[in-house]
Structures are given as structure tokens and as C-alpha cells.
Amino acid sequence: MNLSFFIFFLSLQQGLKQLINFEGLVMKKLSFILLLLTVFTVLSISIPAQKTNEQTTKTSKTILVTFSVNMELERLAGYFHPGSDTVSVGGNFNAWGKTNMTISQSNSDIYNTTVSITASVQDTIRFNFFHSQNTWETVGIREFFITQSDYDSGVIPLDTIVFNAEFPKPQINLVTFKCYMSRQLKRGTFVIGDKVFVRGNFNGWSGNDFELKDVDRDSIYSTVLYGFKEGQSLVFKFTHNHGGTDVWESTGNRMLTVAAGQNIYTACWEDICVYTPTKTIQVAFSINMEYERLSGLFNPLLDTVSVRGSFNNWSKTLMTASTLNPDIYEVVAPVIASVGEAVRFRFFYSPGTWETDNLSDNTQNDRYFVVSQADFDATSMLYEASFNNASMETVLNQPASVKFTCNTNGAPIINAPQGTEFTTIHIAGEYSPLQWPSDGWPDADSTKMIQLYDDGTHEDAIAGDKIFTTVVTFPTFTPLNIHYKYSANWGLPTNGGVNDNEAYFGLSHDIKLGRFTSSKTVIDSFGVFKTLIGDEVEKNNTTIPSAYKLEQNYPNPFNPETVISWQLAAGSFVTLKVYDVLGNEVATLVNEEQPAGSYQVNFNTQLTTNNKQLSSGIYFYQLRAGNFVQTKKMILLR
């Protein structure tokens, strides 16, 4: 017997129930007989717990779902008697059997129960309530969807529902993902039978549950996903599996804001739709590791150097030291490309150091070269660089102590319940003494993390204010652009099940140091990502000024940033500080030894000593260099 027949009986029963009020005892007996028949119908129905047309195996886990029903109207109508009747919930999670519910301590008309349900993302859970007079609800089958956040948290507290009251069905927001693979098929880097997936912040950037299929063989792979919230920001990439290896798009992350109803996202793989003839080009890669070695970050005796990019699916193509210069590592690698194609890549050395972003230009995070007609005709080319484009212009010329502060007040922890307390904060990053943990950020990698403190030590300003602090000293020759990320409650049950819990894969904080920075304060909020360049000191030219001078800031008045410039006739220890009209220090912009020259710094009003937003008004900035002291006035106008 199918589900529509069951709903027919429920509707018929409700209509007879109203008729009873007019027909008396005979009709009551008839209703009783029909009621028995309805119970027999319910018990004989088997509703499958999962969809039968799934074509991929989804990863299921146990999710705790709390059901809650208000029986007040049933009680007032005389249909439900709390002293003798019981309340239950049945659904496709228990084969439409009875899971008893208990009276709430706060309201005797409300009944609750928590059920363990085995489900995966986008599964549909169907259910109804009934009480011991074998009275099912007659409003139709209730249902809800398992979203990614439900799956991650493992806990779903449903809102309290009035028995037999209409259950407002949620807006179903659909997203259709389409990826054109015709170019990859013609290139031979993708073949019929390879699988295409979409992975992003809605599925943990992993798994094979969200597969795109080409049902009509038109080279357009697609899938329809649901369960998203209106306004939800999706960050994702397409991937495919070729020869047993996962291949990711080498372009940047894709983004979509979910609108109500139906959404369609269409793209070509790596945003290249037109096929052009290709050749195998032998590319000679050459990278200079001198500055990495001098900084102590790279050990030639222990570490290996490789080049990784779109041409080798971002795997390692190992390089060897040149016999002429042991700081230079070389390799010749085959690259399949066409004229005008941009080949993306980065250099890498073990155990886990990638080059930083924007080394070719600001339009691409990765390095890249464009294949010219001459390269294509010659089927060979040379690419030479220094790791991270290092020179004395791009690395620290002296050690720099950076005070990292992380404000956790009001911030969420990924996968953890809202309001979870921050017990500990650790920091990871790409340059020593910072390190990145292994894949998955396992608990055992706690030794790679540096802890921040909220106990008044390690330069923490106020104990117990949930603003965590520590000082990290970076050595000379460290690259100026540093990526890093925080972790909350490392290894604790309250970490949401993962240690990489500040944000999803692909997001990190960025800090840009000046060549002569010796100290710096970084003020972050947990889960808020931005590039911090507020107190980066830049040396403007190599001409030595004839006198000391502090320039007027520009623009003035300003909001929220302004540039302050100064000149040093001789090298000295320099401080540049900002004060309010009462003489209170609000920011330290420079606190380091500087050689003779001209400098400037960008002052952002958010980068203050106490991490508080400055109000409109008059402020003073003062330069001290040896015996030279000069103060000027500036106006913040919001």
C-alpha cells in the first residue's frame, strides 16, 4: 500500500470525525471501525528511510534530532487526556513505529524526545505525531532536510509544533551546478568515465557525495543541490578524478550567493571554453634558494625542492641542485599547453613551505607564464626565479618581533555550537617559527602550534578578556608577506570536532612587514580575514636627506587612513607614536632601528594599542630619532 493511499485514509477519517458530531452513536461506532482500519493501514506501510534513486554513496552519521509537540488544543478539545494517553513520533527514521515522548518540565502541554537518526547531507526526514488513542495528525506528512550545518553539528533541535497544526514548509532553495568539460576532453586530460565533483565550504571541501553527471553526453556535467539558506555564501571549486587522482581547478575559488528559489551556476573548467591545439613543451624551471637558506628556513641537507602546478596536477616534480651553484635548483618538466595559455605553478620545499601569493602580478595568486608562439614552435622554454622573488628588497633585513592579538568575543567556532567558550587559541603559519600542521590538523601536531595567552602574560594586556596574545620573532631574511591562521580549543572536545576551525579551507590571515620592521602589533578578530598593512614602514628612495624632518600627514583631515612621512639624516633608533589630546598613547607605528633615508607609514585608525576604534577629533603624532623630536597635529573626521 503506498503513501498516497495512507493520506487518503487520514483525510477520510478527519471528515467522518466532523460528521460524528451530527449523527450520534451509530456513526461513532462506524468511526471506531474505520479507526481500526486506519491503524491497520499505518502498521502495514513500509516507507523507505532513504531515497532509492541515489547514484552515489553518501557518508552517513548519527544525528541527534529533538522533536517537540504542543498538545494543548487536543487536550482542550477532549481528544487527548494527559493522565492516560501517551504521545509518540513516527517517521521514516523508525519505520513509522512509535518513539514515545515525555512531558516538558517547563510546560505540561509540550512533549519532547531526542532521537538518533542515521542520515547524510540533503536527506529528507519525514514524520508525524500521534497519541495513544491511535490518532495520527491529518495535516499531511511533515518533513525537513539535513543541511551541511546540521550534518556538521550532529544536533538538530526542531521548533515546537502544535499537534495537527499546519507545518509551514521551508523554502527550498535549489542550486544547479554546471561545468563544461569539452575542452578537457579534447585535450585528453579528461576522459569519458572520469567523475566531476563540486567541493566547497558547504561540504568541507572534500568527499564524493556531490557528483556532477553528464546524462545526455553533451560534455556538460551537472547536479542539483538543495538545503541552502537564502543569502548563504557558497565558496567552491570544480574537481575531477583522472587516472585515480583528484584534479582541482587551478583558478581561484568560485563564489555564489544563494537567492530564493532556483539558482543556476554555469562555468567552463578553469573558465576556458575554447579549445586550441596543444603541444608538449619542455620547460626548464630554475629557482634560487639562497635567501631561504640564509634565513634558516631551508636546509639543503634535509629539505627537497619541487615545482608544482596545473601541468602536473599540483603534485611534486622534484628539482636538483645545480653543479655550478648549489643554491639554484633545476628540473626540465613536460607541459602540455597551447599558444596564449597561462600555465600556473609555484615552487615548494619540504616539509610544507609554499611560495607566497602574487609573485607574477596582482591578478593571480600563483606564478604563471603565458606560452608564446615562439615557445610553442620551439617546444622548449626557460623559467628562472628566486624563491618568493627574494632579494634584500623583499625580505626582513633584521629580526622582527610581532605581537599577535586575537579577539574571540562574540566569534563562532566552525562546527561548534553557538556560544561555545574559547579556552585556548593557537597560531599556525608558513614561516618559522610558525608552522603549518599536517593535513587535517591532527591533535598530535600540537608541537607545531604556538599558543596565545589570556592570563596577563606574554604581553597580554588584560587577563580574562578573551583577547589572546603572544609575541613571535621572525628571523632576518624572512619574506615580508606572511600567511597565518588561528585554532580554537586545540585537541579539546569543544573544538567542534576539528582543529582547523577558524574558517574553511582556503582562508588565512595575511600580514605584510616592512624590510626594516623590528616590532609590530597585529590585532585580529577570530574568523575575520584581512590583509594587515597598517603600520608597514616603506623606505622611499636611496637618497640620504640632509636634515631630519617630520612631514604633515596626508590626507588631513582623514578617515580612516592617512600617510605619515619622515626623513632621517643619519641612522638611529626611531619611534613614531600617536597620542590623543589628553596625551594618552593610542598607537605605536614605528619602534625600530632605521638607517638614513626617507620613510612613510600608513596609519589606520583600527590599528590602535587597545584595539578600540578612534573617535573623531584632534590627534598628535610624534617622531623621535636620536636627539631629534618633532610633533604634528592631525584631524580624524568621521
Higher pLDDT pick, 448 / 167? 448
Can you tell me the distance from the alpha carbon of 538 to that of 260, in angstroms, rounded to the nearest whole number? Answer: 48
Instruction: Please count the residues of the chain.
Output: 638
- Mean pLDDT is highest, among 199-208, 419-428, 525-534, for 419-428
SS (HEC) of 89-127? EEECCCCCCCEECEECCCCCCEEEEEEEEEECCCCEEEE
Q: What is the mean pLDDT of residues 518-538?
A: 70
Give the pLDDT score at 504.
Answer: 65
CB 66 within 8 A of CB 157: yes
CA angle 271, 215, 230 (to 5 degrees): 60
CATH class of 538-636: mainly beta
User: Quick check: 30 pLDDT over 60?
Assistant: no
Can you tell me the distance from the alpha carbon of 343 to that of 364, in angstroms, rounded to the nearest whole number? Answer: 11
Give the pLDDT score at 287.
Answer: 97
Give the pLDDT score at 385.
Answer: 95
User: Quick check: 275 pLDDT over 70?
Assistant: yes
Give the pLDDT score at 90.
Answer: 93
170, with CB counted inside 10 A (0-12, 13-18, 19+), is: exposed
Q: Under CATH, which number does the domain 279-388 receive?
A: 2.60.40.10
Give the pLDDT score at 514.
Answer: 79
Q: What is the mean pLDDT of residues 336-358?
A: 90
CB 342 within 8 A of CB 370: yes
Give the pLDDT score at 56.
Answer: 42
| DSSP-derived pairing of the beta strands 561-568 and 135-136 | unpaired
Give the pLDDT score at 395.
Answer: 87
CA atoms within 13 A on the CB side of 210: 26
Q: Express as a percent the part of the chain with pLDDT over 70.
A: 86
Can you tell me the distance from the alpha carbon of 366 to that of 430, in angstroms, rounded to the nearest whole number? Answer: 16
Give the pLDDT score at 443.
Answer: 93
What mean pLDDT is reported for the chain?
84
Sign (positive/negative) of CA torsion 99, 103, 108, 110?
A: negative
User: Quick check: 5 pLDDT over 60?
Assistant: no
With bands split at pLDDT 50, 70 and 90, how would you rate the model's confidence at 596? Answer: confident
Give the pLDDT score at 563.
Answer: 86
Q: What is the mean pLDDT of residues 428-453?
A: 92
CB 527 within 8 A of CB 495: no
Q: Under CATH, which number does the domain 400-533 receive?
A: 2.60.40.10
Give the pLDDT score at 503.
Answer: 80
* Closest alpha carbon to 411 in 403, 402, 420: 420
Give the pLDDT score at 466.
Answer: 93
- The counts of H helices and E strands in the chain are 7, 42
Give the pLDDT score at 607.
Answer: 57
- Mean pLDDT is highest, among 354-358, 470-474, 578-582, 587-591, for 470-474
User: Quick check: 21 pLDDT over 50?
Assistant: no
Q: Over the stretch 461-503, which tens digit does the pLDDT of each residue have? A: 899 999 999 999 999 999 888 889 999 999 999 998 889 999 8
Give the pLDDT score at 593.
Answer: 77
User: Quick check: 547 pLDDT over 80?
Assistant: yes
Higher pLDDT pick, 536 / 146? 146
User: Domain 173-271, what fold?
Assistant: Immunoglobulin-like (2.60.40)
Lowest-confidence segment of 40-49, 93-102, 185-194, 290-299 by average pLDDT:
40-49
Identify the three-state secondary structure at position 35: helix
CA distances (Å), origin 197, targets 179, 194, 213, 222: 9, 10, 9, 9
Q: What is the mean pLDDT of residues 304-317?
A: 93
Distance of CA 295 to the CA centre of its chain: 31
Q: Over the stretch 311-333, which tens digit does the pLDDT of each residue have? A: 998 899 999 999 999 999 999 99
With bands split at pLDDT 50, 70 and 90, how would you rate the model's confidence at 19? Answer: very low
User: Model's pTM, two decimal places?
Assistant: 0.49
With bands split at pLDDT 50, 70 and 90, how would you rate the model's confidence at 444? Answer: very high
Phi/psi of residue 631, each to 5°? -130, 140
Give the pLDDT score at 141.
Answer: 87
CA distances (Å), origin 298, targets 285, 292, 432, 633: 19, 5, 10, 46
